[in-house]
Every structure is written in structure tokens, then in C-alpha cells.
């Protein structure tokens, strides 16, 4: 059975399920189940944590969104994004359920729960460039571990990444370690941030990129303009009249949130 036929069959099944659900339930539709995952990075025994959002309808192949937060933040900064996807994709029009993804929001190295390295600890307060440079390979290792779990049914043709601020730099640099990524959203990237310089990865990546930056967020604004010039056929730039930075761009602007989610999940 080819991909198009599987897609149509999956959509047909979801329409039936969605119609049944809508006719039998009058409460708030909240399909995601949250599962804490942890991974031990072999190089230095870092314990890396993430929260996996699991949709209720298991298709033949389900997309995966990897969410990477700002510096001095944690996985919870994507709660608004998860709620938006939950209500507008997974729990909205039954046809859209085909696009309902797994979402894995990580606590990056040195942040949130991800601070233990064997008998040692690491924290963002140290601003150790060598630690930050390990983050893209940390995430790649964790995602590859997830891909080895066949019970998740992850569609390797629909693996997407969102990153905010330092997480935006990590997001595109992740593609050098995880080349099956096909789309990247960069929220307020910078040309250099704690040793992470994403220009090389942007040049090498052959997938699609969407960059958001606030016009009043000077460094990110100018960095984003330079990044967009690398390849205008693959890289889209959204400049907003705001000083919001990173996940605040989407959390404080419903239009930006909708634009990002539609581009990421609904547009092939």
C-alpha cells in the first residue's frame, strides 16, 4: 500500500472516529497523555529529560515535533504550544487528526531536570560553552532512542523541530546530527549564542526553515535577516512588530502561533 493510499485510509478512519467522538462526548477534548522520558548520554552520563505528549489515535505513521526551549527556561515553556495543537489539530476537525503529532519537549542540558552527570552536576548558570555545544548531539541521541521504539510508530518523513533563542540555534544544528529532520522553526535565533553558531547548519540543511523575530529584539532581528539571505527558496522569515523573544513570540501572539502550527503540521 503506497503512502497516498495509507494517508487517505487513515483520514477516512479518523473521520469516522471523530464523528463518533463528537456525537458521544460533550466535554473538553484533551487527547494528549504526558509521559516523562529520560536518557543517559553515554559520553558523560548526563541524565536528559523530556516530556512526551502521546496522541490518542495511533496511525500507521505519526509525525514527531521536537521542542527546544530558551536559555534559563525548561520544557514547560511549550505548554501553550501543546495546548494549541491539542485543541486545534488533535481535537479539532477530524480530518486534521492525521496531522496530530507526538511532541517531545526537552529540558536541555543544564536546565530543568537535566542537570545530573553521574556524580557531578551542570547548570546554565556556568555558561560553559563546551556544555552548550553538546546539546545538539544530546537531542539527536535521545530522538534516535525514540525512533528505535517501534511502538511509537513515528513517521521518519515528518520529523520537525522548534527551537527558541539558544534552542533555535540548537534546532538547526541538530539537523547535522539528525538529517531526517525535514522542517525547522527558529524563534529568535542569534548568529552566535554561548558558542552555538548555526549559519553552517543552515547552509547544509536542505529542508524547510521558518524564522520568527521581533523587530524590537535587535540582535535576533539582524541575525534572522542574515540567516534568511542564505537561501530564500528554503528559508522563510517572519518579522513581527514586537520586542517579544523566543517562545514569548508565539505565547503572546495567537496569530503567530497559528501561523507556526499550520506551517509546521498542515503544509507539506
CATH of 3-266, one of 1.10.230.10, 3.30.930.10, 3.40.50.1820, 3.90.1300.10: 3.40.50.1820
pLDDT range class, residue 11, cuts 50, 70, 90? very low
pLDDT at 18: 46
CA dist 15 → 30, 58, 100, 262 (Å): 17, 14, 13, 20
Looking at residue 15, what is its pLDDT?
A: 44
Alpha-carbon distances, residue 82 vs 30, 76, 78, 79, 244 (angstroms): 11, 10, 6, 5, 19
pLDDT for 58 equals 63
Q: DSSP 3-state assignment of 265?
A: helix
- 3-state SS of 18-83 is HHHHHHHCCCCCCCCEEEEEEEECCCCCEEEEEEEEECCCCCCCEEEEEEECCCCCCHHHHHHHHH
| pLDDT of 184 | 98
- Please provide residue 241's backbone torsions phi and psi, each rounded to the nearest 5 degrees: -80, 75
pLDDT tens digits along 104-160: 999 999 999 999 999 999 999 998 999 999 999 999 999 999 999 989 999 999 999
- Domain range summary for the chain, segments of one domain joined by +: 3-266
The backbone torsions φ and ψ at residue 257, rounded to the nearest 5 degrees and listed phi first, read -60, -45
Percent pLDDT > 90 in the chain is 80
C-alpha cell at 10: 487513515
Strands of the 183-187 sheet, one edge to the other: 33-40, 47-54, 102-107, 62-68, 154-164, 183-187, 208-214, 235-240
Contacts of 63 (CB under 8 A, 6+ apart): 99, 101, 102, 154, 155, 158, 159, 160, 265
235 within 8 A of 223, measured Cβ to Cβ: no
| The three three-digit cell numbers of residue 94, written as one number | 477530524
**For residues 238 and 94, which has the higher predicted lDDT (pLDDT)?**
238
Taking the C-alpha atoms of residue 102 and residue 63, their distance in angstroms, rounded to an integer, is 6
User: Whole-angstrom Cα distance, residue 122 to residue 3?
Assistant: 44
pLDDT at res. 6 = 52
Condensed to tens digits (0 to 9), the pLDDT of residues 16-48 reads: 444 444 433 333 445 799 999 999 999 999 999
- Please tell me the distance from the alpha carbon of residue 186 to that of residue 163, in angstroms, as a whole number: 5
Burial-class residue 37 by CB neighbours within 10 Å (0-12, 13-18, 19+).
Answer: middle
Amino acid at each position: 500500500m503506497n503512502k497516498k493510499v495509507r494517508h487517505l485510509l487513515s483520514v477516512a478512519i479518523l473521520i469516522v472516529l471523530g464523528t463518533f467522538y463528537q456525537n458521544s462526548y460533550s466535554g473538553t477534548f484533551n487527547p494528549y497523555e504526558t509521559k516523562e522520558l529520560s536518557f543517559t548520554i553515554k559520553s558523560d552520563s548526563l541524565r536528559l529529560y523530556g516530556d512526551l505528549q502521546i496522541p490518542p489515535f495511533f496511525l500507521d505513521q505519526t509525525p514527531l515535533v521536537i521542542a527546544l526551549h530558551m536559555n534559563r527556561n525548561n520544557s514547560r515553556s511549550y505548554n501553550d504550544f501543546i495546548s494549541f495543537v491539542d485543541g486545534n489539530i488533535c481535537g479539532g476537525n477530524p480530518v486534521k487528526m492525521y496531522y496530530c503529532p507526538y511532541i517531545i519537549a526537552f529540558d536541555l542540558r543544564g536546565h530543568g531536570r537535566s542537570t545530573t552527570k553521574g556524580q557531578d552536576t551542570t547548570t546554565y548558570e556556568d555558561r560553559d560553552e563546551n556544555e552548550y555545544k553538546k546539546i545538539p548531539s544530546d537531542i539527536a541521541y535521545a530522538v534516535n532512542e525514540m525512533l528505535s521504539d517501534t511502538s511509537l510508530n513515528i513517521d521518519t518523513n515528518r520529523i520537525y523541530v522548534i527551537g527558541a533563542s539558544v534552542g533555535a540555534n540548537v534546532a538547526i544544528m541538530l539537523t547535522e546530527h539528525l538529517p531526517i529532520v525535514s522542517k525547522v522553526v527558529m524563534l529568535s535565533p542569534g548568529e552566535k549564542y554561548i558558542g552555538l553558531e548555526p549559519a553552517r547548519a543552515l547552509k547544509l540543511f536542505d529542508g524547510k526553515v521558518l524564522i520568527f523575530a521581533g523587530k524590537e529584539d535587535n540582535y535576533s532581528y539582524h541575525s534572522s535577516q542574515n540567516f534568511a539571505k542564505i537561501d530564500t527558496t528554503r528559508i522563510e522569515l517572519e518579522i513581527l512588530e514586537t520586542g517579544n523573544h523566543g517562545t514569548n513570540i508565539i505565547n503572546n501572539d495567537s496569530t503567530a502561533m497559528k501561523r507556526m502550527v499550520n506551517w509546521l503540521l498542515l503544509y507539506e
